Amino acid sequence: MNVLIIDDEVIIRTGLCTVIDWSELGMHLLPPAESAEEALERLLTERPDIVLTDIRMAGMDGIQLAKEIREKLPDAEIIILTGYDDFGFAQRALRQGVTDYLLKTSDPEEIIKSVMKAKQNLQMKRELKRQGDVQAAALRKQHFEAWLTGNAAGSGDPDGLVYKSVTEWLEQTGVFRKLPDGRPQAMRVLLVGASGWGHDRFSGLMLGAAESQLSELLSGITLLRNNMIIAVAGVTPGWSGERQLGKVISRVRDTLRCDIFAAAGNEVYAAGELRRSYEEALKVYEYRVVFGDRGLFELKDVEDRQGGRTVCSEREESELSSLLMNNNGSQLHDWTTAIVRERLEDPETTPAALQAFLQSIVIGAHRWLDRAKETASAAQSSTGQAGAGATPAISFEPGVVLEDELFKLLLSVMNEFHQLVSDGRYSYIHRAIAYIRNHLGEHLTLQQVAGFVHLNPNHFSEVFKRETGQGFSEFVIRERMQRAANILLTTQKKISEVAGEVGYEDIKYFSQQFKKMMGSTPTEYRQLSGDGV
């Protein structure tokens, strides 16, 4: 803290400077002043924190000086020194807000005590100011967030107080200002995510470091919300907005050695338009799961996308069923990676369409698993291994590696199926049934299925009939007709198409088999049910 001594008597000035070890008190002693006028000239340059001044001096006295100091340095602490024990002077001094009133004949200990009291007062005022600044900054951030996200609109901000707070903050930080030609400076909202430090416990630290750097490099407003950074930055005239932000993002990425994904809204020219820029940035930020965790993207990069496929094809579902049944994790992982990559590389893909498509794969896997569970024995059902369960939702949180997330869900299905079929005495029968149901549209023979489960065809035929109550051919026909009936009820496919999907090229023969099993022709079955789609 800076201390200034003011007295027109040289012996007093010298004495106060030498009898007290100011550095020992944590003070920096400024050169003393010989008059009030000299002190005022130096006041704003040297900015003393504590002033010790004589009350009676030639020219301006200490009372008037205290008033001048209060106007120029409101937080300064003032101690009046006098050679007279004059109560009237003391009263006048105290009315000017001085800290203490001392006689020049006071012991050094009394003066030190008074100075330390002034120091304590200063520290308390600064701490209160710091707390007030922290609270004010927190309130400004709340207003800023409310304004951007729309929570301050309409009745929530009847007097425009939030809007006023946001505007003032934008002006104070230099984000919103007038250019030399009178035009407003452009602004834009930037949403930033950071990843790459490994363990989740570092994510908060990484985001905090990224926010600190962005705040410094952008000279804008930043805050943390929902595991991402919201920033408002002014656009420097003569720069491409994308080029300017790109350099900042690269700087943060290289400094912190992490991956940075940034989504930018379009440029706007008024505080009232910031919400639009925020909503545009939010739309772009949703593509983080599509684009990956690195890069700067703008609305122009996503606004023309139409969506792409939302449901996996029958061919893909059939491929998946075969992979799940073959119990080969490596092949399943390769397939999962390829199908996710294909969707990500589609220029029409949107986050919503991609999520729907991948979820359809998970649903297809669980539908296949539920059909397998239907064949489980009563003993297995009693253990809770049979029966349908809830289909888990694929995670689309930022930072998720989609191929790994999908593989994890499909691998759990594969493991559950093979655990299920391995529990029974004749587990190979359940695997055989799953194989049959997965190949109903193909030519199926007893020898083919027996080979799949590595059994002699004659032995397999005997065990299959004993376990299912039906011969192999009868079982296959029944499964095909039930599959055909389901297709007839849920689609408008032609009878020839339905026949082909369940392994029949001859439509007439298919119709005969269907009527024999279901009691009516395919056409009659669809009409009688009244449930065709």
For the chain, domains (ranges, CATH) are 2-125 (3.40.50.2300), 183-301 (3.30.70.270), 305-424 (no CATH), 426-533 (1.10.10.60)
Whole-angstrom distance, CA of residue 479 vs CA of residue 158: 67
Contact (CB, 8 A) for 499 and 491: no
Report the pLDDT value the prediction gives residue 134, as an integer from 0 to 100.
67
CB under 8 Å to 497, separation ≥6 — which residues?
none
Report the pLDDT value the prediction gives residue 133, as an integer from 0 to 100.
64
Output the CA–CA distances (angstroms, integers) from residue 437 to 234, 318, 376, in the order listed.
62, 10, 14
Confidence of residue 439 (pLDDT cuts 50, 70, 90): confident
31-45 average pLDDT score: 91
User: Which helix (H) or strand (E) is 287 found in, with range?
Assistant: none
342-360 average pLDDT score: 92
3-state DSSP call for residue 161?
helix
- The per-residue pLDDT for range 148-197, each reduced to its tens digit, is 776 654 434 544 666 676 777 677 776 777 777 777 888 888 999 888 87
Lowest mean pLDDT of 163-172, 317-326, 383-392, 488-497, name the range: 383-392
Tokens of 500: 């082909």
pLDDT at residue 329 above 80? yes
Highest mean pLDDT among 177-181, 445-449, 526-530: 445-449
Report the pLDDT value the prediction gives residue 384, as an integer from 0 to 100.
40
pLDDT averaged over the chain?
Answer: 82
Q: Which one has a higher pLDDT value, 422 or 435?
A: 435
Q: At what angle do helices 402-422 and 314-326 cross, to 10 degrees?
A: 60
What DSSP character marks residue 393? P
Other CB atoms within 10 A of residue 278 CB = 23
Whole-angstrom distance, CA of residue 371 vs CA of residue 363: 12
Report the pLDDT value the prediction gives residue 508, as an integer from 0 to 100.
92
Tokens of 466: 């004993």
- The per-residue pLDDT for range 9-21, each reduced to its tens digit, is 898 889 999 989 9
Per 3-state DSSP, what percentage of the chain is helix, strand, and coil (rounded to 5)? 60, 10, 30
Other CB atoms within 10 A of residue 38 CB = 15
Task: Classify the C-alpha dihedral 11-12-13-16 as positive or negative.
Answer: positive
R_g of the chain computed on alpha carbons: 41
**Could you tell me the pTM of the whole model?**
0.59
Question: Quick one: 131 exposed, middle or buried, by C-beta within 10 A (0-12, 13-18, 19+)?
Answer: exposed
How would you classify the pairing of strands 259-264 and 187-195? antiparallel
Report the pLDDT value the prediction gives residue 337, as an integer from 0 to 100.
94
Confidence of residue 335 (pLDDT cuts 50, 70, 90): very high
511-527 CB burial, b ≥16 within 10 A, e <16: bebbeeebeebbeebbe
Report the pLDDT value the prediction gives residue 162, as an integer from 0 to 100.
64
The tokens 């545009």 sit on which residue?
280
- List helix spans (H) across 257-350: 274-285, 288-291, 314-326, 329-344
- The per-residue pLDDT for range 222-239, each reduced to its tens digit, is 888 778 888 888 777 655
User: Which helix (H) or strand (E) is 27 found in, with range?
Assistant: none
Whole-angstrom distance, CA of residue 323 vs CA of residue 465: 27
Number of H helices and E strands in the chain, helices first, is 22, 10
Report the pLDDT value the prediction gives residue 239, as an integer from 0 to 100.
53
Whole-angstrom distance, CA of residue 228 vs CA of residue 225: 5
Q: At what angle do helices 522-529 and 507-518 cross, to 10 degrees?
A: 50
- The per-residue pLDDT for range 52-82, each reduced to its tens digit, is 988 778 778 778 888 888 889 988 998 888 8
Which long-range contacts does 171-174 make (Cβ < 8 Å, 24+ apart)? 173/219, 173/220, 173/221, 174/219, 174/234
Q: DSSP strand E in 93-158: where?
A: 100-103
Tokens of 249: 């993002």
Contact (CB, 8 A) for 500 and 441: yes
Whole-angstrom distance, CA of residue 426 vs CA of residue 431: 9
At 60, give phi and psi (nearest 5°): -75, 130
